[in-house]
Structures are given as structure tokens and as C-alpha cells.
Amino acid sequence: MKRIYLFLYTFIVLFFISCNEEKLPIEKLGEVKYYDSFWPCSADTASLTKTFIFDFNADAKAKGDKAFAEFAFVDLEGNLVPTKELRIEKDGELLDQNSFKVTSSQPEVTLKFTYLPDAKSGTHQGMLRLVSSGGIERICSSEITAGQLLDLFKWEIKFNKSWNPLALGLFWLILIILFSIIVWFLFIRPQVVKTLKIFNINVIEPYFASIPVNGSRKVVFTSRPQKQGIMNRFFMGKIIFEINSSWEHEWNLEPFGNGVMITAPNHYIDPLDTPLEPGTEYTLQDQEDMNNKAKISI
């Protein structure tokens, strides 16, 4: 039973202490952005600038520079914010230990906040603490006693480590290209690029050859050396070039539905089937040279 009373007593005491504890106002200073260097684009930090105006009473104002207050930026545990993480500048000069001084004759100060790469990304919080004063008894509606460490407000800065703009642009460009390639090969190319469904084309005359053609999109019979470009082959499909001096005039075999058709300018074709029939011999007669003919089968 005594343990229960002790627990209730402790709970009530802590409850009233927490209720009576004065909460500091929160000053959201803004956001600092940083990105690493990438290729020709160097690292950069987008700093934030904030102006603070401190209110001195009439007695302090009458003392001029003799009435002063020195402040420091501390973390939530009361430790000075290290300069290796947060760099604070006043009038272009780096503050020592991230602390600064104001007087009743110059109560306004403009500070520039810059987080360094060693700092953690996210929200940083702390207090603006009065660490030293002279000639004043009150500042910003807060009473000051000798040797007192007074926290005026709770500060908050968001530090965002982002991608280098050039790296981010290249990332999205590569992502778009990869997505386009996948869409092309999976959906578009099968609809617009047809391929041969037969395994071989046999040349019977003027020479004998068995040409594997399955999966190619065209077979070109020509006497001129030709070569298909790498990109064209990759995106559009393979073209087979059957090169022989016998082919004075170029002609082609291409897909036609599930079959094959001949495109042969300057040639007579016998029999004239479209598509070509498997197992049938076809004669191609040169229109300019009747002695020049060829026979093929599929």
C-alpha cells in the first residue's frame, strides 16, 4: 500500500512540476540546403540569413555600448553547437564558438547560417542562450540576474542534403531513357517491326547456300558490301546481307504476315506467290539479262 501512495505522490509532484515549467517560444529560422560536387558542377550550400532585434529597456539604452548582452547557440543539451557542423557569420566574419554580442546602441544583428557537409541531414534544434551581460537587468521582457544563463527561445533549422542538380538531371534522363527502351522492346517494337518466322532460305542457283534467317527482319541479296549499324540492329532488329557478285540487282526477302514476300525490282518472279509457299522453288529472272537467273526455296 505504501508503494502505491509513494507512486501517486511522485506522479502528482512531477505533474505539477511539468505544468509549471515555462516553455520556450520556438523560432523556426528556415532551411539550409547542401549538395555535393559532381563532375564540373561544384558543391554548394544555400545558406539562410536571419535578423534578430533585441529589446533593451530605457535604462540600458541610456548606457549605450556599456549595456551589452552576449549570446551563444547551444543544442538541446546545453552544449555549444560545434563550428565544424554549423557556421554562423556576422557581417561576413565567422563567429567564434557560434556566439555574438549586441549592445543597447546596436540591438540589431543579422546572421548567416551555413551547415557543413559533416552535419546530419534533418531538423536541428537548440536554444539561444544568454552567456554574459553587463549594464542590463532585463532583455526581451526577461529579467536577468548576475551569472544567470538565460535561454531566450528555442531555435530550429532544417538541413537538407540534396542531390547535385547535374547529377539529379542525369539520373532522371537515364531513368527516362531506360523506361523508353523497356516500353519500346516490350510493347512498341513487336507491333511495328515484323521478323521472319522461317528457319532457312536455300539458294539453289547460281550457287548453293543455306542461309539461317529466323528472327531477322530482312534478308538483302546484293553484290555490294554492306553493314548494318549497331544501334539500328539493336532497336530495329537484324538485317542479313547475302553478298555475292551474282546479284547484279539487289533484291530482298521480308516478313509478310506469318510468311515471306519477295521485293525484287528488275526481276521476273516465277511463280508469283505472296506469301511464298514453303517447299516451292522460285525463279528470279533478271529483266536486263535473260541469262542471269536464280533459284531459291524456303
Closest Cα to residue 24, out of 74, 95, 67, 59? 74
CA 141 – CA 160 distance, rounded (Å)? 34
- Of 165, 190, 210, the residue at which a domain comes to its end is 165
What CATH number did the domain enclosing 97 receive?
A: 2.60.40
Same domain, 215 and 142: no
Is 296 within 8 Å of 200 (Cβ atoms)?
A: no
Share of the chain above pLDDT 90, in %: 43
Strongest mean pLDDT among 55-64, 233-242, 264-273: 233-242
**Is 180 contained in some domain?**
no
Q: Is the peptide bond before 271 cis (omega within 30 degrees of 0)?
A: yes
Please report the pLDDT score of residue 277 as a whole number. 83
CA distance 226 to 276: 26
- Same domain assignment for residues 39 and 134: yes
Q: Judge if 27 and 153 occupy the same domain.
A: yes
Domain boundary among 165, 180, 208: 165
The answer to whether residue 174 sits within a structural domain is no
Is residue 186, in this structure, part of any structural domain at all? no
What one-letter code names the amino acid at 244? N
Per-residue pLDDT at 13: 38
Mean pLDDT, the chain, rounded, equals: 85
The answer to whether residue 189 sits within a structural domain is no
Q: Based on the fold, state whether residues 130 and 238 are members of the same structural domain.
A: no
**Exposure pattern of 142-164 as b/e (b: 16+ CB <10 Å)?**
eeeeeeeebbbebbebbbebeeb
Confidence of residue 41 (pLDDT cuts 50, 70, 90): confident
**What is the identity of the amino acid at 275?**
P
Question: CB count, 10 Å around CB of 284?
Answer: 21
pLDDT in tens, 76-113: 999 999 888 899 999 889 998 899 999 989 999 999 99
Judge whether 171 lies within some domain. no
Pair 140, 37 in one domain: yes
- Which pLDDT tens digit goes with each residue over 133-144? 888 887 777 777
Q: Domain span at residue 215?
A: 200-297
Q: Are residues 76 and 157 in the same domain?
A: yes
Residue 15 lies in a domain: no
Question: Would you state the pLDDT for residue 204?
Answer: 92
Q: What is the pLDDT of residue 14?
A: 42
Name residues whose C-beta falls within 8 Å of residue 89's C-beta, 6 or more positions apart in sequence: 95, 111, 112, 114
Residues 204 and 155 in one domain: no
Q: Is residue 89 part of a domain?
A: yes
Tell me: do 233 and 123 sit in the same domain.
Answer: no
Q: Return the number of other C-beta atoms located less than 10 Å from residue 88's C-beta.
A: 21
What's the pLDDT at 10? 47
Whether 72 has a pLDDT exceeding 90, the answer reads yes
The residue from 165, 191, 212 where one domain ends is 165
Q: Are residues 225 and 128 in the same domain?
A: no
State whether 206 and 148 are in the same domain.
no
Find, among 152, 113, 122, 148, the residue nearest to 133 by Cα: 148
Are residues 117 and 251 located together in one domain of the fold?
Answer: no
Residues 38 and 153 occupy one common structural domain: yes
Q: What is residue 232's predicted lDDT score, i.e. its pLDDT? A: 93
Whether 87 is covered by a domain: the verdict is: yes
What's the confidence (pLDDT) of residue 18?
38
Task: Tell me the pLDDT tens digit for each residue of 173-222.
Answer: 999 999 999 999 999 999 999 999 888 999 999 999 999 999 899 999 99
Query: How many domains does one find in the chain?
Result: 2
